[in-house]
A and B are shown apart, each in its own frame.
Chain A
Amino acid sequence: MTFSGFLQQFINAISLGSLYALVAIGYTMVYGVLRLINFAHGDVLMAGCYFAFYGMLVFSLPWWVSFSIAILLTALLGILIDRGAYLPVRKAPRISALITAIGLSFLLESLALVIFGGRVKPFHRPSIFGQVIQSGDLYFIALNLWIPAITSLLILLLLIVVYRTKVGMSMRAIARDMTTVRLMGVDVNRITSITFALGSAMAGAGGIMWALKYPQIDPYMGIIPGLKAFVAAVLGGIGNVIGAALGGLLLGVLEVMIIAFLPSLAGYKDAIAFLILILILLFRPTGLMGERLPV
């Protein structure tokens, strides 16, 4: 493999990894606060894409307005999911919440199928992202530089919220001990909803960038990225925000580079993520950066 070939793949790996990182953060934050794997997270990603799509198509909004509104709507969807589906089962055994999550995932997919139709829709890619950049033998679209940049910015903002604000402190405290935090007079339900809003907004942003990268959307598009982001979150250490980001990057790099060095395995690309999941659960279930606190 030539150096430029390697670099070509590496740029793509970082770009894909950033997307996994964004979505993984949503999984990890919700787990940290509620000890729940929100299986509907991938479908929240899909919803964000459709909001952005219709914003541009039906309301003829300029793309940056449509994307911003879509992210806000996705955050609202997250709050709705929390209040409507997970809050009622907060006191029930964890298995109930898990089943609710799976059911919610099917609900979102089926709703999207009925409302938006079964055929794939083309996602508009603004020319600022689609510009092909060439450097000798190296070709890539501007989007592959924008994605890591925007992702870094979003993660940075999120880390500021989590580590430098009172809301963030409440989130971290709830992850430690929900009951005591309640006794301290913190409105746990409000903080949980904010957690969902933030995680879903990240998923929405990740989804839109995913749709920019692979410009077709369909009701089931969230399943694979959602599953891989889940693997990334587990890889980095479920419950740990920085772990999720690193896990996402690592997963993206592994997925792209393994296929780059072994192109005959190209048909098994998705299997790599799930193989990693099995290996991590077998040998280091707390993930690379470990859980934030021992249970």
Chain B
Amino acid sequence: MKKVFVLSIIGFAVIFFAAGSFGAETVRVGGVMAMTGAVAAYGQDAWTGIQLAKEMVPTVLGKQVELVLVDSKSDKIETANAVSRLIEKEKVIAILGENTSGNTMAGAPIAEKAMVPMVASSATNPMVTQGKKYVFRTCFIDPYQGEIAAKYAFNELKAKTAALIVDKSQDFSVGLAKFFKDAFTKMGGKIVAETFCVTEDKDFSAQISFIKPTNPDVIYEPLYYSPVALFTKQARELGMKTPVLSCDGAQADELIQIGGKEVEGVAFTGHFHAKAATTMLAKDFIARFKEKYKTEPNSFHALGADSYFILLDAITRAKSTEGPKIRNALATTKNFEGITGKISIGEDGNAEKTMVIMVVKDGKFEYLTSVNP
């Protein structure tokens, strides 16, 4: 009797484990997002967008999509570790992320070597995709952002002189500052002061005191939301009424929460505003987002969701989950009607996108205008 009992247990175990391998397969997509740290707003917002996108389109090639998230902690080294882990341990077929240029660049070489496609949602520095076949993005790049910012400063704000505060610890900030400076001086503007900080800096009084006597017509802040909030706040407290122009990094709730009334009037270039939505997907996404979260989605929600949709579209067109095939499909994305507009991605991995100019008004991000490429 005992023998029969033991044999049947073993039998069931064999069937159980064998059955497991016949079960429904999933398509594993990895996400490396900054959920904690200096740029946690971008990561958390992007992931929220991706999860809502998954609710909207949960399957691809007839299989369920499984999302695997690893926190990059807003850190370059952690991003690289996360990408390694997603590829080697979690065996994902593609990676969404990261959110900032510097961090994405730290993880990109690993994905490139493993031939796993990586789609960054909001990394805007040109070097992110340069020289790589497997790295893509769903956003515009910074030479464009710097140029449009300079045009806005020169033409709309009528600024002839500009002062800059640059985060030297972020590739994004250094790159964008350069592009702005090049474009602004080409139009005839003059850079009267350029000061530096690092992302974790809280005290900008030295930089502001340096800028103040040069009397610029505009202060350009190509920084992430915390430094923008603190710098602008301190500048106003130190008596500077100069208009402030910032970048896509400014569009986080924290900017207004921390900056308070001192960030009223800050204008910035960005990716998305609900009022500028044109596509059906956008309207659908916004409606679902409003229903779930009682507020409008911002650029990072939208871009995160777009990265998910674009990846799934590529997988569908490639009819495969193999890296090289997905890669080729991504590189031939044409006029995909994403939330953030029509998205076309070429061999260079970059997307040509419409830019949105926004301003902080009455404690909210208000839509000003759109600029087409």
Contact = CB atoms under 8 A, between A and B. Distances in A.
Interface stretch (B123-131, B201-209, B318-326): B201-209
A259 B36 CA distance: 30
Contacts of A270: 198, 200
Interface in A254-274: 256, 259-260, 263-264, 266-267, 269-270
Interface string B1-40: 0000000000000000000000000000000000111001
Nearest to A259: B206
A85 B168 CA distance: 39
A12 interface: yes
Contacts of A216: 202, 226, 229-230, 254, 258
Interface stretch (A35-43, A88-96, A112-120, A241-249): A112-120
Interface string A158-169: 000000000000
A121 B238 CA distance: 23
B205 A256 contact: yes
A250 to B, nearest CB: 17
B226 A120 contact: yes
A260 B206 contact: yes
Interface string B313-344: 00000000000000000000000000000000
A121 B257 CA distance: 8
A16 interface: yes
A138 B238 CA distance: 8
Contact of A141 (B206, B237, B258): B237
Interface in A179-212: none
Given A120-B258, A267-B196, A9 B209 contact: yes
Contact of B209 (A5, A118, A122, A264): A5
Given A139-B237, A267-B168, A214 B202 contact: yes
Interface in B70-108: none
A5 B37 CA distance: 34
Given A8-B209, A256-B206, A266-B196, A118 B37 contact: yes
A140 B237 contact: yes
B206 A263 contact: yes
A134 B238 CA distance: 9
Interface in A121-144: 121-122, 132, 134, 139-141
B230 A139 contact: no
B207 A119 contact: no
B209 A119 contact: no
Interface string B205-223: 1110110010000000000
A267 B35 CA distance: 26
Contact of A12 (B35, B195, B205): B205
Interface residues of A, number: 33
A140 B44 CA distance: 35
Contact of A16 (B198, B203, B226): B203
B220 to A, nearest CB: 16
B207 A263 contact: yes
A269 B199 CA distance: 12
A114 to B, nearest CB: 10
Interface in A263-288: 263-264, 266-267, 269-270
B206 A269 contact: yes
A103 interface: no
A48 B241 CA distance: 34
A259 B198 CA distance: 14
Contacts of B203: 12, 16, 214, 256, 269
Nearest to B205: A12
B197 interface: yes
Nearest to A221: B202
Interface string A5-46: 100110010001000000000000000000000000000000
20 contacts: A8-B238, A9-B205, A9-B209, A113-B36, A118-B36, A120-B254, A132-B237, A140-B237, A141-B237, A214-B230, A215-B233, A216-B226, A263-B207, A263-B210, A264-B196, A266-B206, A269-B198, A269-B206, A270-B198, A270-B200
The list of the 7 closest CB pairs from A to B, nearest first, reads A118-B36, A214-B202, A122-B257, A139-B239, A267-B196, A259-B206, A263-B210
Interface of A: 2, 5, 8-9, 12, 16, 113, 118-122, 132, 134, 139-141, 213-216, 219-220, 224, 256, 259-260, 263-264, 266-267, 269-270
